[in-house]
Amino acid sequence: MARYKKKRARELQHDKFRDAAGRIFDRVGDKLEGRGKALLYGLAGLVVLAVLVGVYVKWSNRKSDEARRALGKAIAIVTAPVATASPIPGAPAPDYSSEQERSQRAIEVFQQVANKYGDPYRTEARYFIATILLSTDRNKGMSELTEVSKSSVVEPAALAKFALAQALEADGKYDEAAKLYSELAAQNSQIVTSDSANFRLAAVYEKQGKKKEAVDLLFNIVEASRKAKDSDGTPLPPSTAARDASEKLQKLDADRYAKLTPEAPSGDSPF
């Protein structure tokens, strides 16, 4: 019954738009009587098109909101509390008895999103599934990340490539990880910046014994950050990656660190 009511409401909504279009069509017809049907039908077509666009936009916004809520529900599951051997006295009962149970439930909900909605939500859900699988079925997780990284949906594709590079780095597959970090640095997406990718690439070089290459990358990250300014010429604050690179460079090569452009004053007044 509830489903029928929703369907009927949509039908009534459609009828309302159709009737409004019909009334406009009639008024235009009266004014243009005798001036040719081609113009009349052309104007009527524009009216109907505008109505259809309005209906689609409303439907699209509603589906987007629904998809975002579904993704939020799945993400909430990932961060839900799990039972521990030493529960905190007075704390609420955990939602899941184990990490495995929580992961399985999260994958199920993310999969529902992937099955029901189009992109970008489908690809975002697949990315989350892949990251969860890294801890439950690593080979499958790696395979899923590889597939998502090839997607045309830019943000989850970049995140998937970054997660895959990190996993390869953790597995000691440094050449493969370096290749992906280099590609991400070249892409310089908003979600995975060149600084973030190059900072991880420097870490890989260090592990490979390529100290000079690592130092060069770190130096370039920090130097570019210290010289960066906005359109008014005001120095930009360093990114997290730039701050991390600065600390790492100081530890790895103090002499090279000393050659950096001095940091710009913060501009914060003590008064």
pTM tops 0.75, yes or no:
no
Coil, helix or strand at residue 265: coil
What 224-227 contacts at long range (C-beta under 8 Å, 24+ apart), as own/partner pairs, is: 225/195, 226/260, 226/261, 226/262, 226/263, 226/264, 227/261
Fill in the DSSP letter of residue 172: T
What residues does each domain of the chain span? 1-69
pLDDT at residue number 65: 86
Per-10-residue mean pLDDT, the chain, length 271: 40 44 48 47 48 49 84 88 73 80 94 94 94 94 96 94 96 98 96 96 98 98 95 92 97 97 68 41
Inter-residue contact 128 to 78 (CB < 8 Å): yes
84 conformational bin, left if phi > 0, alpha if psi -120 to 50, beta if neither: beta
Mention every residue, 6+ apart, whose C-beta is less than 8 A from residue 135. 99, 103, 141
Cα–Cα distance between 109 and 158 in angstroms, integer? Answer: 23
Phi, psi for 172 (deg, rounded to 5): 80, 10
pLDDT of residue 134: 93
